[in-house]
Structure 1
Amino acid sequence: MRDDAVVAAADIARMAGVGRPAVSNWRRRFQDFPEPVGGTSSNPLFSLAEVEVWLRDQGKLQELPEDELVWQQIRNSADDLELAVVVSNVTAALTDTPQGSRHAPARLVQAAAALAAQRGTADTVELLYRRYVETHSRRVQVVSDEVAALMSGLLGECETVLDPICGFGPLLLATTRARRVMGQERDEATARLAAARLVARGIPADIRGGDALLADAFPDVEADGVVCVPPFNERGWGYEELTNDPRWQYGLPPKGESELAWVQHCLARVRPGGQVVVLMPSAAANRRSGRRIRSQLLRTGTLQAIIGLPAGSAPQSALPPHLWLLRRPQESDAVPSHVTMAEGSLESGHPVPIIELLDDEVDLTPSRRLPKAVAVPEKDLESARAELAELSGALTGLLPRVSRQSRDLAMTTVAELVRAGAVQVEQTPMRMETESGAVPLLTAKDVVLGRGPSGLGEIRVESVVARPGDIVIPAVSRSVVARVVAEEVLLGPHLCLLRLDQEVLDPAFVAGFLRVSAARAASTLSGTYRVDVRRSQLPRLPISEQRRYGEAFRQLEAFENGVRAVAVLGGALAAQVFEALIDGKMQPQD
């Protein structure tokens, strides 16, 4: 290993067998923790040798785990831009995959082979793949295992399967029942790593490099099934070069509709009667430029179903994507009269007459075509009215007792408290996925609505984790809200975190004053506040006085939550009764 080998905070956490937040705590608590030697302020890099010595001195590391040692050897053998080539070459050598294996450095192959002898080739290849993806989480886009399994399930039983832009091979790995799988990938290193992952699992695979639209590696193939996650919103897909291409049987894809080019490429590489499953952006269902091709897909019976998926299911977009299920028609096929629209799964589907879709828009958005369920209140109206009366009657008791006696307050700013070491301020990333991963994630909307975490995320190097007693404030919002966190939680984008010295500052006191002072210090644009929390002011009060204010603020927050609960319950009940009356599920009484 190179003497100048470096590690990120996530690597240190793995070496010590702790979570990522623990490393952040060590950096704050221990003055002798190694200083960064590179990277950025949000993603610092540390000397591996210095970190290993520090962990040993602290009794947090007895011996560097073998898998971590192998990974650090590989990671530090090349710069970030060349790391994919090294990882793919090493995995190719482990699996005897011809492409690139001869270019792998012998010492790295030997180290990886020794690890494979302990834990198996498949696990070792997967370990190196996962570590590479973690290291390049901002550059690499990966389809989740859940989406890959869903797409494979929709494909059904197929002996031969093709993925024309296979990435690291997640869709092909999910088609375990296929006798032969084929894939093409633009990036040669990614193609090698995909091939190694498949071969290591015992899946016969033919993975080739190149752009399938411009340089199709399988021009004569007619597979039983094709799966595809095309690049979204790609303008340079080859519109000018491919204007007269024979694959465009349903119409020339518009320059801004690259996804429709991939759909037709998939249909051209599947046998008559074969299935195609493509993950599409939701905009592809209703963009005006693509309505003629959508119309042809419907008229010929090629498009069989569209399934709406949750937001974050597509690696290239946080918006809810769609799955298009298509079938290449056979000459003997009768043109169907309906297409299935569904949300979440095909089982929830609803047949929609094709004739209803063939209007000027040809809008194929499932949520606009599915019938709305009519919810009938479980309780009778009188008991619901009594419950609302009880809730609303309890509201006034939640208001704190306050006097009209005024007082002068000596003020300070959050910036001054930061300089004094009483407050630490952190800003979460501006962009991050909030629907993928397994860790509960608190979003800015959750903070505004006063609810618990509604998102899911993964703890990464740049993540910010709030602890009990921390305060979170949306950086951009239509109303300034500051809330005290009750449990450890991962924070989503556009949030500001304040961590207090609680021997000096009471969290409820600080949060209460920030709601007003942060709004006064914020800039506004079109009714939206942009909060600069460091300019916010707080009164200088002893901790006992702060706690009196804090208790009043807690009562006010409980009052707000009660008002919100009454509004939500009353509004939902009114809407349900309206629909039930209109649909004949209920009728007025004298």
Structure 2
Amino acid sequence: MNAGDIARFADVGRAAVSNWRRRHDDFPQPVGGTASSPLFSLSEVTAWLRGNGKSFEVSLGDLVWQRMRTAVDDLRLGELVGQVGVFLLFLHRDPEGWREHGSRALSGDLRIWPSPGGDDSRSPLDGRDAPSLAALVAAATADLPDAPRLRLDPTLLRLVVRLAREHGPLGAFEFLCARYVEAHSRQLSVTRDDVAALMTRLAGDGTVLDPACGVGTLLLGAGTPLGQELSEPNALLTAVRLLLRGTSARIVAGDSLREDGLAGVLADAVLCDPPFNERAWGYDELTGDPRWEYGLPPRSEPELAWVQHCLAHVRPGGLVAILMPSAAASRRPGKRIRGNLLRAGALRAVVSLAPGGPDLWLLRRPAGERPPSQVLMVDAGEDLSIVEPAWHAFIADPEAEPAGDSRTVRIIDLLDDEVDLAPGRHRPPQGGMDFARDFTAVLDRFREASAALPQVPPALETLTERQELPTTTVGELVKAGLVTILAAPSKMAADSGPIPVLTADDVAAGLPPSGGTVLDPALVMTRPGDIVTTALGTVRVITESFPDSGADSGAALGPQLTLYRVDRDRLDPYFLAGFLRSADSSRVHSSSSRLDVRRARVPVLPVTEQRRYGAAFRELTAMEDRLRETAALGETLIRLGFDGLVDGHLRPCGQGG
């Protein structure tokens, strides 16, 4: 097990595990892995956690996963996950065969898989001639290509059977696949769930092909899935995931560009999340390949090879939805192919999914119709809900101007020396009345915020020599009962609900609660005068209550926040908050990454003097908030000013007309 597994078992952050290793000499030593990613013994870690009074929970799924991690090295882990998947597919398809023969096979000393070249199709069970477990599994999974013939540990199989009873074969396998992807996150690139769902909806219910299917994410919602994957273990995982869902699948292993295992196959739609920036994609071997209908992809543009490979596998008029690095929309070596895709009417839309990429290119294989004159540009950002309506409206009427953060651009305007398809460069101009209203409103708010800025900072006296004051620590204040420290629960029951939740982002920006949850006795409710700190060191004093929350008072403290409640008769909260903010964070962070001020030093002063300090700290904080608001409004005003001058909605004062 790695540090992430330990953190998950103990319900702490990774930083806490690192801190245990540094501070506790008896913490278990690594038993494998590397210096940067060590692996530990599950039994040793659980014994250490139990011996140190730390609560933890090891689920049945984690027991199965840890046994698999110790059975083979990481390079063969995918093979083992696939092998377990084959066994789960057998349990799913032939539960009676397992109950009649399989369980008894595990009780004896029988090989689970036949030896290479051996014939174990018949083996004695309880003195009778009966099919072996290997034969039963092989018969139930005959449609799987190249099912692995490795020996499985009977103890592991018993655990897998228990996991399948608890979660079903599909649920058990999805759990193991998720752990496999997490353990190989640097080698496996998995499409984001929301992006995969969007692409699946765009593809529809017909035959869907993914030529770089990975572990099958883009094929799970397909009516008739077809796929190819370079990695044989991952191809097997994809096949098992689909078959466990009752979907007939054809998945082949191999390099799609060099050895097209689905040559000649035309699908209704092709979905693809290809490997980015892979220079060794076969340029030298594939120079004369007939797939390059729109031009030979430059060696540095493998993504354009994948685009043309996908177009070669879709029927005329069929959709290709392919994820591309944002730079592929504007890199100079690819401009010729981009231009040819536009001229032929193959490239229909470019969707920016997030700042920095990836982009989603939507293409249609030309079917002999007149090429369109427009291409759709969508700047979706994080709001993927705008993509489908914009796409369907564009397909229905390519000449109509779409609403929202979308626009159509004339193809002839793109066929310049750059052929730049980046949606951000073609952002739609704001409407005249909307722009005028927005610009005027921001200008008025900026002037109002600027006028509210104090002319001078709080009155502070400069001393010729540094003032030495007696100090104590927050830890001592806690012992004396002047301060109570409360931490938010690590998990909450819901993301929305009637109880307002103060989040870390709210504290950092000085905003009211933006989250929500349901009433729970474990919640920590804020009160006016409480001090709240974030893991990054932001410090705020709560100034208002929320009587409509349904609780006794305040808002619920969100995850990753810590609250300090003071005896206000003896300690001023603004005084303490000011010194907490200035505490040396390099010396006062705990293993949980929350700001731990127990060792921070605070002057010992009468409460009347504390309040003078607190008032100054409060004025500085208010000034900081006003400056932040004014700066944000100023940035918006500047952006609107540039946009308005460029788009023609503004002009410099002094011109006639």
TM-score by length of 1: 0.70
- Identity rate of aligned residues, in percent? 44
Secondary structure of the corresponding residue to residue 250 of structure 2: strand
- Which structure 2 segments of 5+ residues have no match? 90-140, 381-386, 391-405, 469-501, 515-530, 542-556, 562-574, 588-598
| CA–CA distance in structure 2, aligned partners of residues 398 and 87 of structure 1 | 67
| CA–CA distance in structure 2, aligned partners of residues 563 and 93 of structure 1 | 63
| CA–CA distance in structure 1, aligned partners of residues 444 and 408 of structure 2 | 42
Instruction: Give the aligned partner of residue 404 of structure 1.
Output: 462
8 Å Cα contact 1:409/1:540 also seen in 2? no
| CA–CA distance in structure 2, aligned partners of residues 240 and 336 of structure 1 | 34
Matches within 5 A, 1:338-487: 338-344=374-380, 345-348=387-390, 349-374=406-431, 375-376=434-435, 391-396=449-454, 399-408=457-466, 469=533, 472=536, 483-484=538-539
- Counterpart of 1:324 in structure 2: which amino acid? W
Matches within 5 A, 1:86-165: 86-95=80-89, 96=141, 97-107=144-154, 108-158=156-206, 160-165=207-212
Of residues 342, 359, 378, the one that matches 1:298 is 342
Q: Flag the 1:242–1:490 CA change in 2: closer, same or farther, 3 A.
A: farther
After superposition, give the CA deviation of every residue in 1:122-155 in whole Å (9 maximum; x if it has no partner). 1011010011122223332211111111111222
| CA–CA distance in structure 1, aligned partners of residues 438 and 342 of structure 2 | 44
1:229 maps to 2:295: no
Of residues 207, 216, 221, the one that matches 1:169 is 216
State the shift of 1:308 in Å.
1.1
After superposition, give the CA deviation of every residue in 1:184-223 in whole Å (9 maximum; x if it has no partner). 1111111111111111111211111110000110112111
| CA–CA distance in structure 1, aligned partners of residues 17 and 510 of structure 2 | 27
1:560 maps to 2:624: yes
Q: Flag the 1:123–1:354 CA change in 2: closer, same or farther, 3 A.
A: same
Matches within 5 A, 1:301-320: 301-311=345-355, 319-320=356-357
Cα RMSD, aligned residues only: 4.5
8 Å Cα contact 2:435/2:649 also seen in 1? no
Instruction: Give the aligned partner of residue 47 of structure 1.
Output: 41
| CA–CA distance in structure 1, aligned partners of residues 463 and 279 of structure 2 | 66
- Counterpart of 1:327 in structure 2: which amino acid? R
- Counterpart of 1:20 in structure 2: which amino acid? G
Instruction: Give the aligned partner of residue 70 of structure 1.
Output: 64
Q: Flag the 1:293–1:392 CA change in 2: closer, same or farther, 3 A.
A: closer
After superposition, give the CA deviation of every residue in 1:78-116 in whole Å (9 maximum; x if it has no partner). 122222221122112322345334325142344313321
| CA–CA distance in structure 1, aligned partners of residues 75 and 615 of structure 2 | 54
| CA–CA distance in structure 1, aligned partners of residues 313 and 535 of structure 2 | 55
| CA–CA distance in structure 2, aligned partners of residues 21 and 488 of structure 1 | 19
Structure number with bigger Rg: 2
TM-score by length of 2: 0.64
- Counterpart of 1:83 in structure 2: which amino acid? L
Secondary structure of the corresponding residue to residue 319 of structure 2: strand
Q: Flag the 1:539–1:360 CA change in 2: closer, same or farther, 3 A.
A: same
Q: Flag the 1:453–1:407 CA change in 2: closer, same or farther, 3 A.
A: farther
1:206 maps to 2:250: yes
| CA–CA distance in structure 2, aligned partners of residues 235 and 507 of structure 1 | 54
8 Å Cα contact 1:225/1:270 also seen in 2? yes
8 Å Cα contact 1:470/1:507 also seen in 2? no
Instruction: Give the aligned partner of residue 495 of structure 1.
Output: none
8 Å Cα contact 2:28/2:44 also seen in 1? no
Instruction: Give the aligned partner of residue 485 of structure 2.
Output: none
| CA–CA distance in structure 2, aligned partners of residues 326 and 380 of structure 1 | 37
- Which structure 1 segments of 5+ residues have no match? 1-6, 312-318, 411-439, 455-466, 473-481, 492-504, 519-537
State the shift of 1:573 in Å.
4.9
State the shift of 1:68 in Å.
1.8
- Counterpart of 1:241 in structure 2: which amino acid? E
State the shift of 1:342 in Å.
1.3
8 Å Cα contact 2:321/2:361 also seen in 1? yes
Q: Flag the 1:103–1:236 CA change in 2: closer, same or farther, 3 A.
A: same
| CA–CA distance in structure 2, aligned partners of residues 389 and 352 of structure 1 | 37
- Counterpart of 2:220 in structure 1: which amino acid? L
Secondary structure of the corresponding residue to residue 212 of structure 2: coil
State the shift of 1:325 in Å.
0.9
Q: Flag the 1:399–1:181 CA change in 2: closer, same or farther, 3 A.
A: same
User: How many residues matched?
Assistant: 486
State the shift of 1:168 in Å.
0.5
State the shift of 1:255 in Å.
0.4
8 Å Cα contact 1:342/1:350 also seen in 2? yes
Q: Flag the 1:124–1:551 CA change in 2: closer, same or farther, 3 A.
A: farther
Q: Flag the 1:110–1:384 CA change in 2: closer, same or farther, 3 A.
A: closer
State the shift of 1:576 in Å.
5.1
1:184 maps to 2:228: yes
- Counterpart of 2:362 in structure 1: which amino acid? L
State the shift of 1:67 in Å.
1.6
Instruction: Give the aligned partner of residue 10 of structure 1.
Output: 4
Q: Flag the 1:151–1:102 CA change in 2: closer, same or farther, 3 A.
A: same
8 Å Cα contact 2:534/2:560 also seen in 1? no
